[in-house]
Amino acid sequence: MADHERSTKALPDEVRAAVRGMWALGDYHRYARELDMQQLGRELVEACGIGAGQRVLDVGAGTGNVAIRAAEAGADVIASDITIENMRDGQSEASERGVELEWIEGDAQALPFGDDEFDVVTSSAGAMFAPDQQAVADELLRVCRLGGTIGMANFTPDGLAADFFAVLGPYLPPPPPGTPSPLSWGDEAHVRELVGDRVSSLETSKRELVETVPGPPAEYCDLYKRTFGPVVAAFAGVADDSERSANLDREFLEFATDANVGSSEGPTELRFEYLLVLARKRG
């Protein structure tokens, strides 16, 4: 596929800027550390069999939840994301952990890499948020070598993430008309439709991401309001409307309280179902 053809799938500049701006809000690195998002990275690296001698691309890498773990497993890793602010935090963590990997700004709908470059292509709760899902699937497959592995961890439409985004949705700018839910990536049938006959095998399994804070649900909400970009954006968007701000505060706390499977006084524990996807590119 020619570079010109790929570029037509890229996010428009204004959309790219808005998405980058939202995910740069707060402190994603703190969010990922305190809620142990690295568990997704550890499980995905293990499931993909990532090890020494492999060339790996992590798409929508954030602060490196997967990419750093892949580098620690001995792979030659590139982490790619449109939010370079988060990648800078990832670079700092990688340095602290004594591993080297490359960080490259990139749009999941138009990746800045050649065909068949990588042995393994991963994405953990990252590429699923790009609006053109078919373009994302096409790009993940394009940059993966023949016979290579594509591994993803995507929140499911039937899990707790659906309730989470149902709370936030009314307080965020609406997506373009016709944009599918990011949670569609957590539906096996939808993933099969996106990849078609370009894979020789596709295996999925449902797993849980467990998020825990020491205190009550209010502490859980406070952490999100300080660190997680979309939540920070939602509250900022209603800051000048006291009624809507109070409603969002109440609804978010109700969500955390109802979903808590820990103690009402702490620790608070929420369990988010995700779909682990392992595909082998035909070849």
What is the reported pLDDT for 9? 86
Q: Which domain holds residue 155?
A: 3-281
Distance CA 246, CA 189 (A): 39
What is the reported pLDDT for 176? 82
What is the reported pLDDT for 8? 56
Per-residue pLDDT of the chain (283 residues; tens, 9 = 90+): 334 344 458 999 998 999 999 999 999 999 999 999 999 999 999 999 999 999 999 999 999 999 999 999 999 999 999 999 999 999 999 999 999 999 999 999 999 999 999 999 999 999 999 999 999 999 999 999 999 999 999 999 999 999 999 999 999 998 888 899 999 999 999 999 999 999 999 999 999 999 999 999 999 999 999 999 999 999 999 999 999 999 999 999 999 999 999 999 999 999 999 999 999 999 8
What is the reported pLDDT for 263? 95
Tally of domains within the chain? 1
What is the reported pLDDT for 1? 38
- 61: Cβ contacts below 8 Å, ≥ 6 apart: 67, 79, 80, 81, 87, 90, 103, 126
Q: Is the C-alpha dihedral spanning 150, 156, 160, 165 positive or negative?
A: positive
Starting at the edge strand found earlier in the chain, the sheet holding 144-155 runs 102-105, 76-81, 55-59, 118-124, 144-155, 268-281, 199-213
Q: In terms of Cα–Cα distance, which of 13, 124, 111, 110 is closest to 62?
A: 124
User: Per DSSP, what are the bridge partners of residue 57?
Assistant: 78, 121
Total count of residues recorded for the chain: 283
Six token digits for residue 208: 């849980």
Angle between helix 242-259 and 217-227 (nearest 10):
120
CATH number of 82's domain: 3.40.50.150
Task: Verify cis geometry, omega within 30 degrees of 0, for the bond prior to 267.
Answer: yes
What is the reported pLDDT for 73? 98
* Helix residue ranges per DSSP H, the chain: 3-7, 13-24, 28-34, 38-48, 67-72, 84-97, 133-143, 160-168, 188-195, 217-227, 229-237, 242-259
SS3 150: strand
User: Per DSSP, what are the bridge partners of residue 76?
Assistant: 55
